[in-house]
Structure 1
Amino acid sequence: MVLDGQDRWRLNNALPISSQIYALLRDRIVRNEFAPGERISEAEIAKLCEVSRQPVREAFIKLAGENLLEIRPQRGTIITKIAYTAVLDARFLREAIEADIVSILASRSDTALVRELRDQVSRQRELGQSRSAEFIQLDEHFHHTLAQEAGKGGAWKLLEGLKSQMDRVRFLSLSQFPIGRLVAQHSALVDRIERGDVSGANAAIRTHLREVLTDLPSILAANPQFFDLPDGTVLQPANAPIQGGIDHEH
């Protein structure tokens, strides 16, 4: 699927149309190119893609299921705000799943896998701070590799649908993305997998996946209009405190 200028989006007719429209819209929403509160319509997207409204409707329904769109009958469809509680829930679930994934990998340390992971970390390190969006792609590939090699590709696919709100936060933080620290954490995780250090790998991935909590207060302060806060308050995560001094009661 290729974005063709500003007038239309070119789709591959050999592939499912609805899935392509879903992927294109999801990517733009996650990258915050479509802002919360912005209206989009089936008719406009169908025109851009030069298709009927049916596959667009199917894509909208799937995006609404991920809480990225709110479909209001007779009133239109809008981009949702980032659900703060969904960010915390997705991070919590991701930590639980990936902790088991790296424990599996460390318990059967594989030389070929370690070599592949080190190659990936080297490519991440070469990007530098100015290419945060590219780092996010490499980071996704790194974590996907961990899941695949542990035989948990299905669990990763499930996570992809759950962590869309978390991904929106990551793209809001591009200007302050701690690439150096994240790469160092990836490298330390690979070291523990190589040594067969199950408890160390488990601890390393948990520390790594709690990194997003460090930046949440400043991201919220800079972009309050992007977030949907329950009752206007900031909840503490269940298993890791938010950094930066925010300390609200549940």
Structure 2
Amino acid sequence: MHTTLQTLWQETRDSDSVRHRLHDVLRQAIIRMVLAPGQALSEKEIADLFAVSRQPVREAFIRLSESGLVEVRPQRGTYVVRISRQAVLEARFIRESLEVSITLEAVKRPLQPSVLMELNELIVRQRSCIERQDHDRFFFLDEMFHRTLAFSTGQVMAWKVVEDVKAQLDRVRYLSIPDSTPIAKLADQHQAIVDAVAAADTQAAVEAMSIHQREILNSLPELERRFPDMFEEVALVTPALAI
């Protein structure tokens, strides 16, 4: 675990503040299940690991609690929260609403050829992750695809809102790759979005983005069955109790 956290730290920008870098490292570690749901987090241990004071660690914990990723329990400690099905569904709804709107903007503009080229190049790079089974790299390239689409339409604030609300959703997305949702399927969905935008086909573009954003609904029940310890209230929906 410590080695992975230090690797994530090295991937952050030196120019960012320690607090910001710590938040990014811990957020990614939680999303990638390096820090598992229910795990206790030690303020002192993390501060010692990165050779920083405890204050920026404390501030990072607060930001993570605001995103719904950790729970700070006074006098008891800080814990990675289990995945909330309701939070995932709400985040997915918000993300689909915003990203469909972003896609509509991309059709209306239309996008510059250089942007379409960049999006297509990202898809090529995503496909290169299939054979190598490089899930972390694909996850990064997936983020870049959606971020590029949002920024190219001038919807920077919309993307920031998406980033803020999708923390719980990201954990489920990460769990779903590759077994529940194969990389090739997601790359194909990205291609359908770009092709529809390039063709200025509003209906096809909206449908392609909606299908893509609803993909997680297909994998969520399976993930709850496979990883019950990672989810809240999973026992409430078991077949035995449903009779």
* TM-score bracket relative to the smaller structure: 0.7 to 0.9
> Which residue is equivalent to 1:22?
23
Q: Pairwise CA RMSD of aligned residues?
A: 2.6
> Which residue is equivalent to 1:238?
none
**8 Å CA contact 2:177, 2:183 repeated in 1:** no
Between 11-20 and 68-77, report the one with greater CA deviation: 11-20
Q: Deviations over 1:63-116 (max 9, x none)?
A: 111111111111111111011111101110010001010111111223222222
Pick closer, same or farther for the CA change 1:57–1:5 going to 2, 3 Å: closer
Identity %: 39
Structure 1: runs of 5+ lacking an equivalent: 235-245
SS at match of 1:82: coil
Q: Deviations over 1:105-158 (max 9, x none)?
A: 111223222222112212212221522221111111000001001111111112
Q: What are the within-5 Å matches in structure 2 for residues 144-159 of structure 1?
A: 144-159=147-162
Query: 1:179: how far off?
Result: 1.4
- Counterpart AA for 2:221: P
SS at match of 1:78: strand
The answer to which structure has the higher helix fraction is 2
Q: How many Å separate the matches in 2 of 1:203 and 1:145?
A: 19
Q: How many Å separate the matches in 2 of 1:14 and 1:127?
A: 29
Q: Deviations over 1:39-81 (max 9, x none)?
A: 1121111111222211111111001111111111111111110
Aligned residues, how many? Answer: 235
SS at match of 2:121: helix
> Which residue is equivalent to 1:31?
32
- Counterpart AA for 1:41: S
> Which residue is equivalent to 1:122?
124
**8 Å CA contact 1:29, 1:35 repeated in 2:** yes
- Counterpart AA for 2:17: P
> TM-score under structure 1 normalisation?
0.86
> Which residue is equivalent to 2:86?
85
**8 Å CA contact 1:101, 1:152 repeated in 2:** yes
Structure 2: runs of 5+ lacking an equivalent: none
> TM-score under structure 2 normalisation?
0.88
